Each structure stands twice: as C-alpha cells, then as structure tokens.
Amino acid sequence: MVENRPLLTLFSHIMLILGVAVIALPIWIMFVAASHPDIRMTQVPLPILPGGYFFENLDIALNRGLSGQSGQGVAHMMVNSLIMAMMIAVGKIAISLLSAFAIVYFRFPFRMFFFWMIFVTLMLPVEVRILPTYEVVANLGMLDTYWGLSIPLIASATATFMFRQVFLTIPDEMLEAARIDGAGPMRFFWDILIPMSRTNIAALFVILFIYGWNQYLWPLLITSEPQMYTVVMGIKQMLEAAEQAPEWNVIMMTALLAMLPPICVVIFMQSLFVKGLTETEK
C-alpha cells in the first residue's frame, strides 16, 4: 500500500465480499437444499435458509440412496473414490520419484530417450485418447478393478518434472558426503533425497489427491458394476434419475459429500496446496 485511501480500501472490501458471495452462492444453495425434507424440495420457490433435516438426509444419502434406485447408498462410492485417489497420488509420486532419481543422478545409455518418452506424456490428457486406452485396459482384464481405475492415470510426466527440478537444486556436496560415508545409490535415495524433498512430496500429494478424487470420464468408462462406482459418478447418475423423480435434497447431499474431502484438503493444507499448484505448473 503506497498511500492511504480509506474510501478505496472500503470499496475494495465491499467488492471482495461481493465476489466471495458470488463464488459461495452455489455452495450455499446446495447446503440449504441438503437440509430440507424431499417434500419441501418440490415446492416453488425453494428455500433460501437451511432447514432442520440435514442429518436425516445425510443418513439417506450414505446408506440408502435415491428411493427410485436399487437402494444404493453412496458410502461405498466414497470408499471407492478414496481408494482411487490414494492409489493415483501414491502411485504417481512413487514412480516419478524413482524415474527422476535415475534421470538426474545416473549416467546410462538411452537416458535422454527415456526422458523424452516421459516428456511426451505431459502433452496428452486422457480425454483425447480414451477409446484406445479403454481397449488396452479391457484387454488386460482390468475393467471394474481398482487397478484399471488408477494405473492408466498414473502415466503423466508432471510429477517427474517437478522432482527433477527439486533434485537439481540439491547441492552436489550431499552426494559427495554420502559417498565418502560409504552410502550406495539406494541408501542415498532413502536417507537423503526423500527427506530433503519431503515438503515437495506433501505438496504434490495434495494436488494429486484432488486430481484423483475428481476424475470423472475415466471411471465412467471402465466401471459397469455399481460396486465400483465412485461418488463423482454417482452424482451424474442421480441427476439422470432426477428427471423422473426429483429428490434434490439427496442429490445435493451427495454433491456435498463428494466435494467435502477435496475442499477440506485445500482449506486445511492451504500452504502445501498453493506450493504444489505453483510448482507443478511451471
């Protein structure tokens, strides 16, 4: 702040509060809808203040699901989403750490070839190669499995790049010292590299967890058994059912449940989240 202009500051605060209100409006409406009984949700105009039916709806959404459907609650979908998100995040971090370590710390034949091969995967999101990737997964018999849900999404280069950058900033003296003390490559990796990139790993984990949890197109394609559905998919199916029998209270409760874990991650691990975002993109 260069000069003191109280009116301009006041104006800024007012505009910011308005901005926050616009951004928060959909969430507020969702929360209100999730706290009213289904009968109230069919009467126009819909309420704009929360009702007292929140925990009943929570129970319905988790354990029973929409009344028109086969009584599928979303509890197991939440578990599936969690497993998928964890597998994607941990898998990506693990294979990227290893390959970045190899590319930065070893001189070996085809090193640049491997580097470029990983590099091309940066370019193509899963959306543009869905059909052939689907065929591969089908041929490997991985439809309707956690492996099929997660492994194809592990193939991406962003994490490798980030770890490569991190390793390049670690001083050479670390390796020299480790060698003098008689440490082999894997010892060096475990006892020096991993501890030194701890915060980067955590930051990346936050980003990848959100990425994995929010996957939609891929789970939609490769799961056909309700047992394997993820919660983000569940919302879409409920929306389809809503065209006949709208139970918006349950749908909005499901939406709330689907966004709660990633939002908690963003809010409670904000500094790691910001670090992860800015470092993976550049």
Partner 1 sequence: MLKNVHFGPSVLPFLLVLPQIAVTLVFFIWPASQALYQSVLLEDAFGLKTEFVWFRNFEELFSDPHYWSSFEITVVFSFLVAFLAMSFALVLALLADRVIKGSGTYRTLLIWPYAVAPVTAGALWVFMFNPTLGIVAYALSALGYEWNHQLNGGEAMALVVMASAWKQVAYNFLFFLAGLQSIPKSLIEAAAIDGAGPGRRTIDIILPLLSPTTFFLLVINIVFAFFETFGVIHAVTAGGPAGATNILVYKVFNDGFVGLDLGGSAAQSVILMIIVIGLTVVQFKYIEKKVSY
Torsion (CA) 193, 199, 203, 209 in degrees, nearest 10 = 70
x/- binding map, residues 128-167, to partner 1, per CB under 8 A? xxxxxx-xxx--x----------xx-xx----x------x
Among 53, 163, 229, 248, binds partner 1 (CB under 8 A): 248
The whole-angstrom separation of Cα 259 and Cα 263 is 6
Neighbours of 177 (CB within 10 A): 13
Size of the site for partner 1 (CB under 8 A): 103
**Please, is 176 exposed, middle or buried when counting C-beta atoms within 10 Å of its C-beta (0-12, 13-18, 19+)?**
exposed
Is residue 83 within 8 Å of 207, Cβ to Cβ?
A: no
Most distant CA pair in the chain: distance in Å? 76
Is the CB of residue 252 less than 8 Å from the CB of residue 33? yes
User: For residues 16-75, which are near partner 1 according to CB under 8 A?
Assistant: 16, 19-20, 23-27, 29-30, 33, 41-42, 44-46, 48
Range 102-131, binding partner 1 (CB under 8 A): 102-109, 111, 114, 117-118, 120-125, 127-131
Q: Shortest approach of partner 1 to residue 14 CB, angstroms? A: 9
Q: Which is nearer to partner 1, 70 or 139 (CB)?
A: 139
Question: Which residues lie closer than 8 Å to 50 by C-beta, 6 or more apart?
Answer: 31, 32, 35, 36
Q: Which of 47, 21, 52 is nearest to 35 (CA)?
A: 52
Q: Is 216 in the site for partner 1 (CB under 8 A)?
A: yes
Chain residues 261-280 in contact with partner 1, contact rule CB under 8 A? 262-263, 265-267, 270, 273-274, 277-278
* Residues 74-103 close enough to bind partner 1 by CB under 8 A: 94-96, 98-99, 101-103
Q: How far is the CB of 164 from partner 1 (least distance, A)?
A: 9
- Residue 217 is a binding residue for partner 1 (CB under 8 A): yes
**Does residue 250 bind partner 1 (CB under 8 A)?**
no
> Least CB distance from residue 34 to partner 1, whole Å?
11
